[in-house]
Structure 1
Amino acid sequence: MAHRVFAIRLWPGLIAAALVAALSLGTLGVVALRAESFSTLSKFDWMAVRFTVVQALISAGLSVILAVPVARGLARRDFYGRRLLITLLGAPFILPTIVAILGLTAVFGKTGFVSIALNWAGLEPISIYGFHGVILAHVFFNLPLATRLLLQGWGAIPSERFRLAASLNFSPRDMFRHIEGPMLKEIMPGAFAVIFLICTTSFAVALTFGGGPKATTVELAIYEAFRYDFNLGKASLLALIQVVICAVAAFVSLKFRVPQVGGAGLDRPVQRFDVHKLSARGVDLFWIMMVSLFLLLPLLAIVLRGAYGVFDLPISVWSAAARSLVTALGSAALAIILSLSLSLSALRWRWLEGIGMTAIAASPLVMGTGLYIVLFAVADPADWALFITALVNAVMSLPFILRAIGPALATTERTYGRLSDSLGLMGWTRVRLVLWPRLRGPVGFSAGLAAALSMGDLGVIALFARPDSATLPLQIYRLMGSYRVDQAMGASLLLLGLSLALFYIFDFWGRRRA
């Protein structure tokens, strides 16, 4: 029997789905129609395609492989600060890309901590630019994500299995073969596919650490085709290739989504009997410390170096910060409206949620350029740069938000739907009294995530912003280009603080009265 929540008008969900489809696929069609010709891609363009796939494969592989011992150590050990460290590992998307890039440069660059230590040892300093710099940055962003995904798998193994293994006197090899190995076989392919997808659409990392024929991603090649050549034909072909690559990765990520593993248990606290050996403690401690240093040192460098520059910021940085705040808040509002409309309508038509997920295979640069072409006939697109940026960022965050709101909405309706029917609760009354109190937490988290993602975005705005209308990430990139490193560090610390504050405020609002 259909629940009466479906009495809610479905046209908002249909409009949201149409908007997402138009931005994801329609803008690609607009760019293709505007192109005068579709010239054959050069060998440098195919090098960009090959580099994109190769670096994404290596980045995803390293992230997942290195995450195995880290997640295993966190799952087996209980120590002071463990929860805080795991929380830190849950923030790869919240950290603005340009901030992380500056932090990595401060640690691994020519004048960074690592290079100074190598100089003291009489060795040549390392270079963070090029292929290995892109890999390093992507592992920095995605190793925490892979660790969290694998840690969920360890947490899903019932404690009874470890008790049984202890009674059978399992060796560490037996433990891995019969308990941990099967879990990893189920989770690692999905984690690899998701991270591959993220690395494929990377822009800011390739723009800063890459460049040149040998270290250019497809997304960066699209930007160059737009920005420097205005070759819409080439940009369309590159965008189509990227859509195909991302569609394959998205299909794999859905096919190998993170499952519930380990079977049923009695929900007893997990007690491990195989972790008391000194060698096991040493291995776990080593990996946890190494990853903690790898993640925390760049952030510490931003705080230490940015503290000196934050008091010497020009007025243009503060103006850019205000524009970024307005854009982030607008993007969060649009993302929540779109996601709630899609999720409510998807209770009847599940394919609507699938349309919302199509943004995961789209290029934000193509979206922005398509909107630019459409607006050019009626207005100056530069006047709409912030709105276009907010809209594109809202759509690009939908795949992550729908995974937070959609399951919570479906679970609430499945649990309380029949009771609500029997009480005559329907329509918006049902949403207000039954659904919203249980959606407030996911909505707050999703709004914070969307705002933080938009706050740190360096994509669409790089195409259309005037010199006097940059957002904070673009202003930081310009400061870096003019070698004003101290001010760039200060602006990065400001961006980091604003992004974390936005996420915390929205998330706290959602959890407080959920």
Structure 2
Amino acid sequence: MTGATDRGLRIGLGFAAAALLIVFLGGAFVFLLAATGAAPDLPALFADRYIRGVVLFTLEQAALSTLLSLAGAVPLAVALHRARFPGRRAVLRLFLLPQALPVLVGALAIITIWGRNGVLSGGFAAIGLSRLDVYGLAGILIAHVFFNLPLAARLMVAALDRVPAESWKLGGQLSLTPLATFRLLEWPAIRASLPAAASLVFMLCVTSFTLVLVLGGGPGATTLEVAIYQALRYEFDPGRAIALSLLQIALTAGILWLATRLGGDVAAGFGLGGRALRYDRPSRTRAVMDAAILSLGVAFVLSPFVAVLVRGLRADRVSLAVDPAVRRAALTSLVIALAAALLALFVSILVILALEALRGAPSGRCRGHDTARKGLETAASLVLVVPPIVVGAGWFLALRQVTDVFAAAPYVVVATNAAMAVPFIVRIVGPALAAANQATGRLADSLGLAGLSRLRVVDWPAMRPALGLAFAFALAISLGDLGAIALFGNQDLVTLPYLLLQRMGSYRTSDAAGLALILGVLCLGLMALAERGLAGAGEKR
């Protein structure tokens, strides 16, 4: 196989995978309209005062969550980057864990720490202060900051790691003060990463579902995603759901466009803990401030995990372990998560290989290949702007015409969860393959490596370590998902998050705490095993 044939095959397979994503996501809207005969009434939607309030609250909570996350991430990233202590890598790993923790478990942990009967409220009551009210805007903001501040901090640390080593060395030779170092070296790097971090956090908060569903506290604290769920689950008004979905898509697409205009890259990679060598002038004051900032940051991120562990250990774990409903839910969650993660990896690898083939194409067709590459990247990220609930509902109604609706539900959930994981896998694995091709791509071309030989010698060794983290993310996303399963869950299809939500709704708090511990340990354990196993295998090669 020639290099041109190999490149053409990769591009073709990548676009075929992207076409499947587009058909799956876009076809849901078509089937939802065709199956119900409903049409979105946008003028009536805009005239509805309640919907206007939902839109304003969606934007308000997303803007405030983004502002608080970035405001906390900047000093935390700076302190973490310049701190010199043995546990720095462990702290970076800790900041990765909220992304692996199921959102519902995180919400329950936030209630345990910040709720009216939580740890902090108990402390306030002991000194005569009023208890906290975690339901409503305050609880949503706390939960969003818990999940997104570590993510933003890692992105900023990665930006600081990209500062040339010569700059740090020159700053040390000039004995720059901490303030001058921040102004001349740290802030320019962080400022360049702000559009990407802000757009990613804002988009995650705009499309937030589980946190708002659990912590929203009523109609006054409802986002578009929750309103779509209510329109389908309780009112069964597909026309209203589609209109709300189009409104949400317009909002998120506008965010992506604005981020691009500002120079942000929402596909920014995650830092894996590499550390630049710095030559900062010793400063006791700065060291104390950094230690205080890191202590507060670690305590804020770690306390919900501790809360889940403590409350879970108090539950009757033996009865939960032998409960047939819990065992069925755990098995169902594992099967769905593994199937979704493998499907997401397969689709993502095809897309990533196609992107690299387009990037390394001959210069004579550069403009056309750049356009094709941007289109492929957009298709891979399409799920970020399309509500998964509407996707699941559309296909659920379509399959109802040709098969048993309850038999089709697991396949819809698997496909939806897989589509949700594709953007993250592309962003984690893509940079690793791009770096490898930049270093060895021309040599591989000159040696005539193509087809399976190039995949085995060049591409797979480059992708394999990052695939461990990507596979772990896909597992965690699917294991903790409550979006699709909240719409289609029934007595025959119960996952651990859905069972946890049921136990919380029936005020069986002890069971809910035990299930949260099981689900959290399962997600974090599988993530650690997947990352270590695949990364270690890659190193042995």
C-alpha spacing 1:338/1:210, structure 2 compared with 1 (3 Å): same
CA distance in 2, matches of 1:78, 1:328: 38
Q: Is 1:13 the equivalent of 2:20?
A: no
Report matched runs for 1:395-414 at 5 Å.
Answer: 395-414=419-438
CA distance in 2, matches of 1:415, 1:276: 39
C-alpha spacing 1:171/1:411, structure 2 compared with 1 (3 Å): closer
Range with bigger deviation, 412-421 or 441-450: 412-421
Q: Is 1:43 the equivalent of 2:67?
A: no
C-alpha spacing 1:38/1:357, structure 2 compared with 1 (3 Å): closer
Instruction: Please point out which of 216, 222, 227 is paired with 1:210.
Output: 216
Partner of 2:76: 70
CA distance in 2, matches of 1:216, 1:304: 31
Contact 1:47 1:213 in 2 (8 A): no
Letter in 2 for 1:231: D
Report matched runs for 1:202-241 at 5 Å.
Answer: 202-241=208-247
Contact 2:3 2:445 in 1 (8 A): no
Partner of 1:481: 505
Alpha-carbon distance, 1:508 to partner: 2.0
Contact 1:97 1:456 in 2 (8 A): yes
Q: Is 1:357 the equivalent of 2:381?
A: yes
Q: Is 1:285 the equivalent of 2:287?
A: no
Partner of 1:263: none
Instruction: Please point out which of 317, 338, 343 is paired with 2:352.
Output: 343
Report matched runs for 1:13-162 at 5 Å.
Answer: 13-33=14-34, 34-39=36-41, 40-41=44-45, 42-162=48-168
Contact 1:49 1:218 in 2 (8 A): yes
C-alpha spacing 1:444/1:237, structure 2 compared with 1 (3 Å): same
Instruction: Please point out which of 242, 265, 277 is paired with 1:257.
Output: 265
TM-score normalised by length of structure 2 = 0.89
Q: Is 1:192 the equivalent of 2:187?
A: no
TM-score normalised by length of structure 1 = 0.93
Letter in 1 for 2:31: V
CA distance in 2, matches of 1:396, 1:28: 17
Partner of 1:447: 471
Letter in 1 for 2:517: L
Partner of 2:392: 368
Report matched runs for 1:434-513 at 5 Å.
Answer: 434-513=458-537
Letter in 1 for 2:225: E
C-alpha spacing 1:13/1:173, structure 2 compared with 1 (3 Å): closer
Contact 1:343 1:353 in 2 (8 A): no
CA distance in 2, matches of 1:259, 1:26: 25
Contact 1:381 1:464 in 2 (8 A): no
C-alpha spacing 1:37/1:359, structure 2 compared with 1 (3 Å): closer
C-alpha spacing 1:228/1:433, structure 2 compared with 1 (3 Å): same
Contact 2:3 2:448 in 1 (8 A): no
Range with bigger deviation, 178-187 or 205-214: 178-187
**Deviations for 1:232-276, whole angstroms, at most 9, x for unmatched residues?**
11101110011111112223444312899xxxxxx9721211x51
Alpha-carbon distance, 1:344 to partner: 2.2
Letter in 2 for 1:499: C
Partner of 1:247: 253
Aligned pairs, number: 506
CA distance in 2, matches of 1:183, 1:409: 24
Contact 1:328 1:454 in 2 (8 A): yes
Alpha-carbon distance, 1:186 to partner: 1.2
C-alpha spacing 1:415/1:73, structure 2 compared with 1 (3 Å): closer
C-alpha spacing 1:484/1:16, structure 2 compared with 1 (3 Å): same
Alpha-carbon distance, 1:473 to partner: 0.4
Contact 2:175 2:280 in 1 (8 A): no
Q: Is 1:174 the equivalent of 2:183?
A: no
CA distance in 2, matches of 1:12, 1:164: 48
CA distance in 1, matches of 2:172, 2:426: 41
Alpha-carbon distance, 1:381 to partner: 2.3
Contact 2:113 2:119 in 1 (8 A): yes
Alpha-carbon distance, 1:185 to partner: 2.0
C-alpha spacing 1:84/1:189, structure 2 compared with 1 (3 Å): same
CA distance in 1, matches of 2:123, 2:303: 14
Range with bigger deviation, 468-477 or 306-315: 306-315
Contact 2:348 2:422 in 1 (8 A): yes
Contact 1:4 1:425 in 2 (8 A): no
Letter in 1 for 2:100: I
Runs of at least 4 residues off by over 6 Å = none
**Deviations for 1:172-197, whole angstroms, at most 9, x for unmatched residues?**
43333222232232112221111001
Contact 2:248 2:385 in 1 (8 A): yes
**Deviations for 1:66-124, whole angstroms, at most 9, x for unmatched residues?**
11111111122112422211111123321111111111111111111101101101111
Contact 2:203 2:252 in 1 (8 A): yes
Partner of 1:264: none
Range with bigger deviation, 28-37 or 369-378: 28-37
Alpha-carbon distance, 1:209 to partner: 0.2
Alpha-carbon distance, 1:4 to partner: 5.2
**Deviations for 1:36-68, whole angstroms, at most 9, x for unmatched residues?**
343412211221111111100100110001111
**Deviations for 1:376-435, whole angstroms, at most 9, x for unmatched residues?**
111232222222111111111111111122333334344434433444432223223332
CA distance in 1, matches of 2:217, 2:312: 26
Q: Is 1:272 the equivalent of 2:280?
A: yes
Contact 1:73 1:288 in 2 (8 A): yes
CA distance in 1, matches of 2:353, 2:172: 47
Any unmatched runs of 5+ in structure 1? 261-266
CA distance in 2, matches of 1:501, 1:3: 43
Any unmatched runs of 5+ in structure 2? 269-274, 359-371
Letter in 1 for 2:107: I
Letter in 2 for 1:91: L
Alpha-carbon distance, 1:361 to partner: 1.0
**Deviations for 1:278-308, whole angstroms, at most 9, x for unmatched residues?**
3x22321221111111111111111111013
C-alpha spacing 1:29/1:426, structure 2 compared with 1 (3 Å): same
CA distance in 2, matches of 1:209, 1:153: 33
Letter in 1 for 2:284: K
CA distance in 1, matches of 2:166, 2:278: 8
CA distance in 2, matches of 1:232, 1:283: 54
RMSD: 2.2
